[in-house]
Amino acid sequence: MQKLCDLDVDNCENFKENAKVYNDKLTQLDNKYSEIFKTIPKEQRFIITTHDAFSYLSKQYDIQIFSPLGLDSNSEVTASNLIKIKKLIEESPNDTIFLENAANNQILNNLSKISS
């Protein structure tokens, strides 16, 4: 914030006020989602995704992330990861899988078909 204020002294107070409003909104949103996730039993609090791009959600809201590809969407899928995710899908009380629209979802599509 200080660098921005140094560059534009005349608008410094405006920058600070806007930052405060924005941070307050983010805090409210975080509180809202914290309460929502607390209503989901911990053992059911998980996301299955093509690659692990949601570690920030995992840390913030105590959600488990399962991914056949790990962090790198260009990595190779391992049989052990597929078996673990297939078992998780089969044992889950959830009956819906949402797929990322920007990823190659062939792996998860196949898993959802054989696990239904």
Beta-carbon neighbour count of residue 67 at 10 Å? 23
Name the residue range of residue 20's domain. 12-41
Same domain, residue pair 51 and 108: yes
Does residue 79 share a domain with residue 24? no
pLDDT in tens, 68-96: 766 555 666 777 777 887 888 788 776 66
Confidence of residue 16 (pLDDT cuts 50, 70, 90): very high
**Same domain membership, residue 37 and residue 51:** no
What is the rounded CA–CA span in Å between residue 116 and residue 88? 12
Residue 7: CB atoms within 10 A of its CB come to: 10
Confidence at residue 98, expressed as pLDDT on a 0 to 100 scale: 59
pTM of the model: 0.64
pLDDT at 106: 66
Residues 37 and 54 in one domain: no
Measured CA to CA, the distance from residue 20 to residue 4 in angstroms comes to: 15
Q: Both 32 and 57 in a single domain?
A: no
* Count of the separate structural domains present in the chain: 2
